[in-house]
């Protein structure tokens, strides 16, 4: 199975500042079709995960453009600019390249 | 808008089975596969598998073969997951999901 490794496990951010979360895959997530199948989700307290970024760098519908995704074949970054109170929760990366799809352990974002 | 309505929490005895439902609305049911994901505090997010809502074809994570059975009822736009031979390790929140949208989750507790 593809292992997804996130860092850090938790991050504390001052509102208005930016935050970055890293995710590394044990195998390239670049498909021969040119698409990189890494996804980012946010699970707010008491809620189900919601999609933020799909296919490495595409913003999901309704997601503020303060969120952005980037990366290479195995190293990926989620950046949140101007962190707001509503951004608190656990962020997960996931790979949807091959079965079984797998997820990172999560990064908990808190406000200072 | 897209909605995935899941059945309520289950309390089950070890060795028994439960069947969770996921009723979809707001889109053409057979246009998208439905996935199932298990979430526990210890293991995080684990992908169980998906069902082709048009053909009924399934694809399972090897880990969940024999444990989970995915089915669909196109007439009611509902997907189902049956979990069999339950043990305390099956206690978790189970989500049905489209790629971009997750249901609210169903909590399953296995206890004697």
Distance (Å, rounded) from C-alpha B59 to C-alpha A27?
21
Contacts of A104 in chain B (CB under 8 A): 44
CB contacts, 8 Å: A48 with chain B: 95, 102-105
Q: What is the rounded average pLDDT of the residues B65-75? A: 97
CB contacts of A39 in chain B (<8 Å) are 99
* Residue A3 sits at the chain B interface (C-beta within 8 Å): no
pLDDT value at residue B42: 81
Contact B95 A92 (CB under 8 A): no
A47: which chain B residues are within 8 Å (Cβ-Cβ)? 104
* Nearest Cα residue in chain A from B93: A48
Distance CA A29, CA A39 (A): 11
Cross-strand partners of A107: A91
Query: Measured between alpha carbons, how far is B36 from B49 in angstroms, rounded to an integer?
Result: 6
Which has the closest alpha carbon to B1: B95, B94, B99, B101?
A: B101
Burial B61-99 (b: 16+ CB within 10 A, else e): beebeebbbbebeeeebbbbbebeebeeebbbbbbbbbb
Of the ranges A70-74, B23-27, B40-44, B85-89, which one carries the lowest mean pLDDT score? B40-44
Q: Tell me the shortest Cα–Cα distance from A94 to chain B, in angstroms.
A: 9
Nearest by CB: B61 against A47, A50, A99: A99
Does A59 contact chain B (CB < 8 Å)?
no
Report the relative pairing of strands A75-80 and A67-71 from DSSP bridges: antiparallel
User: In angstroms, what separates the C-alpha of A47 from chain B's closest C-alpha?
Assistant: 7
Establish if A92 touches chain B: CB-CB under 8 angstroms: yes
Q: Please state, in angstroms and rounded to a whole number, the distance separating the CA atoms of residues B55 and A16.
A: 48
Q: Which residues contact A72 (CB under 8 A, 6 or more apart)?
A: none
- Tens-digit pLDDT profile for chain A (112 aa)? 999 999 999 999 999 999 999 999 999 999 999 999 999 999 999 999 999 999 999 999 999 999 999 999 999 999 999 999 999 999 999 999 999 999 999 999 999 9
Asked if A36 and A93 touch (Cβ cutoff 8 Å), the reply is no
As a three-state string, the secondary structure of A28-94 is: CCECCCCCECEEEEEECCCCCCEEEEECCCEECCCCCCCEEEEECCCEEEEEECCCCHHHCEEEEEE
Looking at residue A15, what is its pLDDT? Answer: 97
Q: Counting Cβ atoms within 10 Å, is residue B36 exposed (0-12), middle (13-18) or buried (19+)?
A: buried
Task: Name all contacts of B82-85 with Cβ < 8 Å and 24+ positions apart.
Answer: B82/B17, B82/B18, B82/B19, B82/B20, B83/B17, B83/B18, B83/B19, B83/B20, B83/B108, B84/B17, B85/B15, B85/B17
Tell me if B95 and A48 make a contact (CB, 8 A cut-off). Answer: yes
Return the pLDDT at B43: 82
């Amino acid at each position: 199975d593809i292992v997804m490794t996130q860092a850090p496990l938790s991050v504390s951010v001052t509102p208005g500042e930016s935050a970055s979360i890293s995710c590394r895959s044990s195998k390239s997530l670049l498909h021969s079709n040119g698409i990189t199948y890494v996804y980012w989700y946010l699970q707010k307290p008491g809620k189900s995960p919601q999609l933020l970024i799909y296919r490495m760098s595409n913003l999901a519908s309704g997601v503020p453009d303060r969120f952005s995704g980037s990366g290479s074949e195995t190293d990926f970054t989620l950046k949140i600019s101007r962190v707001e109170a509503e951004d608190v929760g656990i962020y997960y990366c996931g790979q949807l390249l091959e079965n079984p799809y797998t997820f990172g352990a999560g990064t908990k974002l808190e406000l200072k | 808008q897209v909605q995935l309505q899941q059945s309520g929490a289950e309390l089950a005895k070890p060795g028994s089975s439960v069947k969770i439902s996921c009723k979809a609305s707001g889109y053409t049911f057979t246009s998208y596969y439905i996935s199932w994901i298990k979430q526990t505090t210890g293991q995080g997010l684990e992908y169980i598998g998906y069902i082709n809502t048009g053909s009924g074809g399934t694809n399972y994570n090897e880990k969940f073969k024999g444990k989970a059975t995915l089915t669909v009822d196109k007439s009611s736009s509902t997907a189902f997951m049956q979990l069999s031979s339950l043990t305390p390790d099956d206690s978790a929140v189970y989500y049905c999901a489209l790629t971009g949208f997750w249901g609210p989750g169903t909590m399953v507790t296995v206890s004697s």
